[in-house]
């Protein structure tokens, strides 16, 4: 049995949004994580938080990409206050909207398939840990 686990709550939520999804294999997850780390380690991105982050994410819907548990990385504030201990990862198609409270309660990162942006959602989004949006296209922090 691999380290990438199913998240039944997430799968039900994606089904309710009519979003196509597929669980990533361990090797696919590792590859996706390497791409994400490469994106984050470049450091040449804009970072938005809170309302601005959520608005930037919604502007890019619908999307084809990945939805996964927040990995350990210095840029993800979700790691500062806990986050999911279970590793999950999905390839998603046609994500056309999200319920803000629900997606934050599940705690995840959503990116496009090219890893040109990603959004981090956390259960403490209204208080300690705001949503985050990392955009590689703009290349300068705002």
pLDDT in tens, 15-30: 999 999 999 999 999 9
Query: What ranges in 6-141 are assigned the alpha helix state H?
Result: 8-16, 26-42, 51-59, 100-106
Q: What is the SS3 assignment for 79? A: helix
Residue found by looking up tokens 């398939």 in the block: 113
Low-confidence ranges of the chain (pLDDT < 50): 78-83, 139-142
E strands present in the chain: 20-23, 46-49, 63-68, 89-95, 108-112, 117-121, 132-135
Tokens at 114, concatenated:
């090219």
Q: How distant is the alpha carbon of residue 27 from its chain centre?
A: 18
pLDDT value for 126? 66
Whole-model pTM: value is 0.86
Residue 123 contacts by C-beta under 8 Å, 6 or more apart in sequence?
Answer: 104, 105, 107, 129
């Amino acid at each position: 049995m691999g380290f990438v686990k199913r998240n039944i709550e997430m799968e039900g939520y994606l089904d309710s949004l009519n979003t196509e999804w597929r669980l990533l294999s361990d090797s696919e997850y590792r590859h996706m994580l390497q791409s994400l780390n490469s994106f984050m380690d470049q450091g040449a991105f804009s970072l938005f938080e809170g309302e601005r982050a959520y608005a930037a994410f919604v502007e890019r819907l619908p999307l084809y990409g990945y939805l996964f548990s927040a990995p350990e990385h210095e840029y993800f504030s979700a790691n500062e206050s806990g986050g999911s201990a279970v590793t999950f990862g999905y390839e998603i198609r046609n994500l056309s909207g999200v319920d803000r409270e629900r997606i934050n309660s599940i705690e995840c990162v959503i990116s496009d398939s090219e890893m040109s942006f990603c959004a981090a959602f956390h259960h403490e989004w209204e208080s300690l840990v705001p949503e985050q949006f990392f955009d590689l296209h703009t290349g300068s922090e705002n």
